[in-house]
């Protein structure tokens, strides 16, 4: 845990304005019950490393990211058991995890109030998306530029979508035109994200919280390999992707 000293200083009168900084936030307080393992999902091993190790390894080399805040459950007993590698120097933990993701993110923002400026960027990335690559994060930041709102990585929907009734019979085929699958990172201004999550504490992602304020986040095309590990088979797929990259490096 760090102190409450400011992470930036305000410009002096007459000086040039300070460019917004970027801070990464990784919610890692969940228990991952759907994967069927007693160990919290973010700590499950892939190629000998905890699942979320790979998210840190992708984020840490991005020079524009000032700090990586990892939000843990106050009851977390696993963090200290692991070596987080070269990324550790850039990581700070916050024991403020809540029962659900939006609560975890909002608790972290409240804890960081006064340390991050209102217009600075908060880049939220799932601990359970280990296949993100540094290059994709860099591209995302490049495309976001100085957007007044922020945005998210996403992929256009390619599959035909069906709506089912209770008996799992199709009652409608939905148009996939204009539909996207949300990914992370998702990045928004600190104060805007805080207000959005306070307004929509049930938001399924940060973008929905921002949308509740009447804003339209920007979509930046991601990659299909940027998968989220939810079920046991996802863990196996993620390991295959990471091992293939390691052999190609």
Domains in the chain: boundaries: 22-248
User: How far is 42 from 48, CA to CA, in rounded Å?
Assistant: 13
User: What's the confidence (pLDDT) of residue 38?
Assistant: 77
Contact between 53 and 81 under an 8 Å Cβ cutoff? The reply is no
Q: Which of 92, 84, 85, 83 is nearest to 65 (CA)?
A: 92
Q: Which of 139, 151, 2, 131 is nearest to 69 (CA)?
A: 2
User: How far is 22 from 189, CA to CA, in rounded Å?
Assistant: 9
Q: Which two tokens stand for residue 2?
A: 């760090």
User: What's the confidence (pLDDT) of residue 8?
Assistant: 52
User: What's the confidence (pLDDT) of residue 4?
Assistant: 52
Provide the whole-model pTM.
0.90
User: How far is 127 from 118, CA to CA, in rounded Å?
Assistant: 24
User: How far is 59 from 212, CA to CA, in rounded Å?
Assistant: 28
Contact between 103 and 27 under an 8 Å Cβ cutoff? The reply is no
* Rg, Å, the chain Cα set: 19
User: What's the confidence (pLDDT) of residue 1?
Assistant: 45
Per-residue pLDDT of the chain (249 residues; tens, 9 = 90+): 445 545 554 555 555 556 899 999 999 998 755 565 678 999 999 989 999 999 999 999 999 999 999 999 999 999 999 999 999 999 999 999 999 999 999 999 999 999 999 999 999 999 999 999 999 999 999 999 999 999 999 999 999 999 999 889 999 999 999 999 999 999 999 999 999 999 999 999 999 999 999 999 999 999 999 999 998 899 999 999 999 998 887
Q: Which of 59, 120, 119, 64 is nearest to 92 (CA)?
A: 59
Pairing of strands 121-124, 22-28: parallel
Phi (first) and psi of residue 27, to 5 degrees: -70, 125
User: What's the confidence (pLDDT) of residue 9?
Assistant: 45
User: What's the confidence (pLDDT) of residue 248?
Assistant: 84
Domain 22-248, architecture per CATH = Alpha-Beta Complex (3.90)
Q: Which of 17, 231, 200, 222 is nearest to 131 (CA)?
A: 222
pLDDT tens column, 34-73: 565 678 999 999 989 999 999 999 999 999 999 999 999 9
User: How far is 226 from 223, CA to CA, in rounded Å?
Assistant: 5
Percent helix / strand / coil, the chain, rounded to 5: 30, 25, 45
Contact between 195 and 206 under an 8 Å Cβ cutoff? The reply is no
């Amino acid at each position: 845990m760090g102190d409450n000293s400011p992470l930036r200083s305000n410009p002096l009168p007459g000086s040039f304005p300070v460019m917004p900084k970027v801070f990464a936030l990784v919610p890692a307080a969940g228990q991952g019950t759907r994967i069927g393992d007693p160990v919290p999902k973010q700590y499950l091993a892939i190629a000998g490393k905890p699942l979320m190790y790979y998210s840190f390894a992708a984020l840490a080399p991005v020079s524009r990211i000032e700090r990586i805040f990892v939000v843990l459950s106050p009851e977390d007993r696993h963090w200290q058991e692991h070596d987080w590698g070269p990324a550790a120097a850039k990581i700070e933990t916050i024991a403020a995890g809540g029962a659900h993701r939006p609560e975890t993110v909002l608790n972290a923002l409240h804890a960081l109030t006064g340390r991050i400026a209102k217009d600075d960027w908060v880049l939220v990335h799932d601990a359970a998306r280990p296949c993100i690559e540094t290059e994709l994060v860099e591209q995302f930041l490049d495309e976001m530029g100085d957007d007044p709102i922020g945005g998210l990585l996403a992929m256009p929907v390619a599959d035909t979508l069906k709506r089912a009734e209770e008996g799992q019979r199709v009652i409608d085929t939905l148009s996939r035109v204009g539909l996207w699958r949300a990914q992370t990172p998702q990045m928004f201004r600190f104060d805007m994200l805080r207000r959005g999550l306070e307004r929509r504490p049930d938001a399924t992602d940060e973008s929905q919280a921002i949308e509740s304020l009447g804003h339209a986040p920007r979509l930046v095309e991601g990659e299909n390999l940027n998968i989220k590990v939810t079920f046991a088979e996802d863990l196996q797929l993620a390991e295959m992707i990471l091992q293939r990259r390691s052999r190609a490096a």
